[in-house]
Amino acid sequence: MYRIRFHGRGGQGMKTASRILGTALFLEGYEIQDAPRYGAERRGAPIFAYVRADKKTINERGIITRPDLIIVADDSLIPVPAAGVLAGIVEHTVLLINSDESEQTWQHRLNIRNKIITLPVETEDRAELRFIGATCTGAASRLLGIISLASLEQAIKDELAELGPQIIDKNIHKAKQAYEKVAPNENCVSQGSEITAGKYLPPDWIDLPFEAAHISAPNVWASATSMKVNTGVWRTLRPIIDYERCNKCWWVCSTFCPDSAITVDESGQPHIDYDHCKGCMICVAQCPPHAIETISEQEAAAQDKLKEEETTS
Amino acid sequence: MTRQLLTGNGAAAWGARLAATDYIPAFPITPQTEIIEALANWIDYGEMDTRMVTMESEHSMITAAGAAAATGVRVFSATSSQGLLYAMEMLYTVAGWRAPFVLTNVSRGLAAPITLESDHNDIVAARDSGFLQLHCSTCQEVLDNTLIAFRLAEDKRVRLPVIVNLDGFYLSFTREPVELPEASAAKEYVGEYDPENIQFRASAPVSQAVAVLGGSPYSYFRYETHLAVQNGLTVFNEVADEFAEKFGRQYKTVEAYRMEDAELAFVMMGSFSTKAMEAVDKLRDSGWAIGLCRPRMLRPFPIKQFQEMLSHIKGIAVIDQNISMGMGGVLHTELMAAMYGQPDAPVISSFIGGLGGRDITMEEFFEMANTARNAVEQGQAPSPRLLYSENELREMRKLQSIAKVERDELGQSSGENSGGNTHE
């Protein structure tokens, strides 16, 4: 059985990517199972999706513990423990990472010897972000070596049917590009061996002790705990206020912000709290003089870096 | 017939569509919402001739479903978890009306704390309501059992609502290949709803009166409902056989997997039971005589079928994805009741696993088989066990210390000196 796991952020199309791969494998005559997994649905939160493919009926369910292929659409997730990108990694696991860093860098950083293939990020134009899923799926198809271009194309058409021919063509183009790019690594993903009942590691079950309610109730008694959570890291897009255009209306953006992440100072100037702005972009849509613009986080980070360099030199 | 990829939610929606449902009262709740979204879409595009009404709560939704069914139209609805519980008062009421319809429940753990993932405490809570219950383990079963459920509900020997249960995430959002029956064949199979004595016409309005009664007539009506639920076993077998003849897929009140010469058996319901099938295959490869016994029906409870299937079995591992506070696994309790006093009754070991969607690993299935075998050797079942590892408790301790540190840092102590960690 092939076991494949996709990691990305809510809004990056990982569910769709897993479905395209699932459909492509189904078209190739495999029995498949694909599913997304997430908690509270929100943009930017780490999510994963998985695909299983086998020549016989699949009875296994749920999370994949020994993946053959891990696909990472957003390399900023790798250091996030909650994302569990490396969970269950075994010797033969191949990693496909959407990243500008090299294979060697990732091997060194993660201290692993697994085969790593990187796809350079193409986010100069933030509109391209929408095609990460297609890119990942195209590359994954070639790495698996069991999906023809025709099946990949058909799968994209099937899964994106509602989005119209233009978007479908663009996705097919992106998928094909990635399919060609990873050609040297064709068929590098292999099916892991199955565990047997004859030899297995027994679970370390324990008996839970009784604990009093002040410990064992699922309640946190404290105020303003949301301030402690840096929800700004969920953001994939950053709103930036152009103070030249801002007419200091004092209330529109700050009122519409669902996270109270915009405050207005005494002079009427709004400030965005980037530690807690989740990048929903409602302020961008609401600002009457269109004084808030959107840039991708990737681009914003590059700008920040540049600024930092300027100040140090 | 064509095979296509469908989620469990998609399969449930197709079931309602292929059964030519007339009326769908709806209220959204994760992970069920996709079902009503799919149906709403089809109605919007004119692919379904059905009236859908979005209600203001599940309580109203079930009331509307029962009321519509009582006018003689075919009704479908869907909910999950807190929604099912919010409707609980009306589950009993509409079953008392003897109003037949089909309700999909997408199982999800109950609050508090909150989870979105699967757990059977919601559906088990509806156990005594008078609804019949069919439990699915694949997306194909969701579709097929929805069609079967309409036949079961509307049969004059039953005339009660039926819940088709599927697990959140593990089925609801999981795509698998599903064979979609031809619309005409499905229509032919489900047939027309014959409401018999119900003669409601909008042009001749009548009111359905439900009297306030003393204990004696009350007992009569309640017991009649019990008998009707019990009839569900016979009726299910009939309509399932007819289904098999038409579509080639056979369903039983209790499903057996590799039970022929088994000495040990897993007993569990829901989608995780396909994992148990995988475990059975692997254990058999290593020389174990083991099988899986999976109740499709929880109500009526197929006592005879269990007794027949498990009479030659030496040891059983019951895995409950639910917990009755202060008692333990519900399926375990019911199976114990069914097997008590049987000659050569098996030794039954109880496990609670998969609460809130927690995974049950292959190694855990192997270990449960091992425990069941040891119990047979010792002639005594061990104490019930929660599937929970040392590592999980370590993770829990980490969460508790974060909570404690935050509390201390924010100067908002709960008033307890020991804080969040007993191991300090």
Per-residue pLDDT tens for A171-210?
A: 999 999 999 999 999 999 999 999 999 999 999 999 999 9
- CB within 8 Å: A22 and B175: yes
The domain spans of chain A are: 2-185, 230-312
pLDDT band at B410 (very low <50, low <70, confident <90, very high): low
pLDDT in the model for residue A123: 59
Task: Pick the residue from chain B with its C-alpha nearest to A216.
Answer: B420
Residue with tokens 């969607």, as numbered in its chain? B357
| Nearest CA-CA partner of B73 in B45, B59, B53, B93 | B53
What CATH number labels B254-386? 3.40.50.920
pLDDT band at B411 (very low <50, low <70, confident <90, very high): low
Interface check B177 vs A, CB under 8 A: yes
- Angle at which helix B88-96 crosses helix B58-69, to 10 degrees, equals 10
| Cα–Cα distances in angstroms (integers) from residue A216 to residues A211, B116, B136, B386, B393, in the given order | 6, 20, 33, 16, 12
A190, A68 Cβ separation under 8 angstroms: yes
| Nearest CA-CA partner of A76 in A182, A235, A228, A226 | A235
- CB within 8 Å: A228 and B406: yes
The structure tokens listed for B345 are 């009754």
Task: Return the residue in B37, B173, B399, B418 with the most chain A beta carbons within 10 A, the one to mutate for interface testing.
Answer: B173
Yes or no: domain B2-194+206-247 corresponds to CATH 3.80.30.20: no
Taking residue B7's Cβ as centre, other Cβ atoms within 10 Å add up to 26
pLDDT in the model for residue B423: 42
pLDDT in the model for residue B414: 45
B373-380: long-range contacts, CB 8 A cutoff, minimum separation 24: B373/B264, B373/B315, B375/B315, B375/B347, B375/B349, B376/B263, B376/B264, B376/B314, B376/B315, B376/B346, B376/B347, B379/B347, B380/B347
- B351 vs B107: CA distance, rounded Å: 19
The domain spans of chain B are: 2-194+206-247, 254-386, 391-424
- B133 vs B126: CA distance, rounded Å: 9
CATH class name, domain A2-185 = alpha beta
- CB within 8 Å: A58 and B407: no
pLDDT in the model for residue B413: 47
| Ranges under pLDDT 50 in chain A | 126-127
B283 vs A contacts (CB less than 8 Å)? 197
B76, B17 Cβ separation under 8 angstroms: no
| Nearest CA-CA partner of A188 in A140, A135, A132, A151 | A140
Distance from CA of A151 to the nearest CA of B (A): 15
Do the domains B254-386 and B2-194+206-247 match in fold? yes
The structure tokens listed for B136 are 């699915």
pLDDT band at B418 (very low <50, low <70, confident <90, very high): very low
DSSP label of B408: H
pLDDT in the model for residue A131: 85
pLDDT in the model for residue B420: 43
Q: Which fold has domain A230-312?
A: Alpha-Beta Plaits (3.30.70)
Q: Is the ipTM, as predicted for this complex, more than 0.95?
A: no
| Nearest CA-CA partner of A46 in A19, A103, A17, A7 | A7
Q: Where are the alpha helices (DSSP H) in B19-80?
A: 33-44, 58-69
Task: Pick the residue from chain B with its C-alpha nearest to A221.
Answer: B414
Task: Return the residue in B2, B4, B5 with the most chain A beta carbons within 10 A, the one to mutate for interface testing.
Answer: B5
pLDDT in the model for residue A233: 81
Interface check B416 vs A, CB under 8 A: yes
